[in-house]
Structure 1
Amino acid sequence: MSTHWEDRAACAGTMLELWFGPEDYDEPKDQTRWRHRRATEFCATCPVRTDCLAAELIRPLSEQHGIRGGLTPRARERLLARWRAAGLVPEHCPPEDVDLVRRLLTESDLVPATRYCPGS
């Protein structure tokens, strides 16, 4: 039995397009909203949501794509900005300590609840 968190994710085995969008055409906004809502519904029930989100948050923003841990890239950027403003993570680079990020995700009142919000 594998112990890697990705193997235990609610999204394991789903189509990548749900999380990252289509590659071959510009998605209409209503389709994007539906896709984001559906993806975040998966994330809300995921037993490894914190691990997923932490793994994404330690990557540079330019390398972050799709729905991860229930948040869009824009929502993750806003979360990191709040953490930076509070002095919790470095100002000009991604946080390097995944354990710190995991702790912030579970303990911080600066973390949004997992649910779909239009415009995220």
Structure 2
Amino acid sequence: MTSAASSTSGWEQHAACAGTPIELWYGPDERPESGHEAYWRRRHAKNICARCPVRTECLADELLQSRADQHGIRGGMTPREREQLLATWRRGGLIPAEKPPSSETVRTLLIQEVPSSSAS
């Protein structure tokens, strides 16, 4: 993906999305896209994420952002899917409800729970 990175960890250089058009991950800026276009764009992006060697790192970095700062496909998930994952963890008592989770907790949970392919 070609954008300013939210993390300085260096994992971005190993991402399967490196060099892909930013529109694939966030949608077009200049026009609205149809539901059909959005579906296929997201599916294509998720397929790239599914084979990414740093998928967990990408998703963890995004999950640590505030809801207002989460956009596009990251780590193979949409903002809605990421929020649902966080809500599930909160309900299960795996992360605190009243404050952001720690980076270590998120990474541990992702290693345990994120399937190797969520291309749909």
Q: TM-score range by the shorter chain?
A: 0.7 to 0.9
Contact 1:8 1:47 in 2 (8 A): yes
Structure 1 consecutive aligned stretches of length 4 or more whose deviation exceeds 6 Å: none
1:29-70 per-position Cα deviation (integer Å, ceiling 9, x unaligned): 000000000000000000000000000000111110000000
Distance in 1 of aligned mates of 2:38 and 2:98? 30
Q: In the alignment, which residue of structure 1 is the partner of 2:91?
A: 85
Consecutive unaligned residues of structure 2, counting only runs of 5 or more, are 1-8
Equivalence map 1:48-59=2 (5 Å): 48-59=54-65
Q: Percent identity?
A: 52
Whether the 8 Å CA contact 1:84–1:90 is kept in 2: the answer is: yes
Normalised TM-score (structure 2): 0.87
Q: Does 1:72 align with 2:78?
A: yes
Deviation at residue 99 of structure 1 after TM alignment: 1.7
1:94 is matched with which residue? 100
TM-score (norm 1): 0.87
Q: CA RMSD in A?
A: 1.5
For the 8 Å contact 2:50–2:116, the answer to whether it is kept is no
Output aligned runs, 1:1-120, within 5 Å: 4-95=10-101, 97-108=102-113, 111=114, 114-117=117-120
Q: How many residues are treated as equivalent by the alignment?
A: 112
Contact 1:60 1:93 in 2 (8 A): no
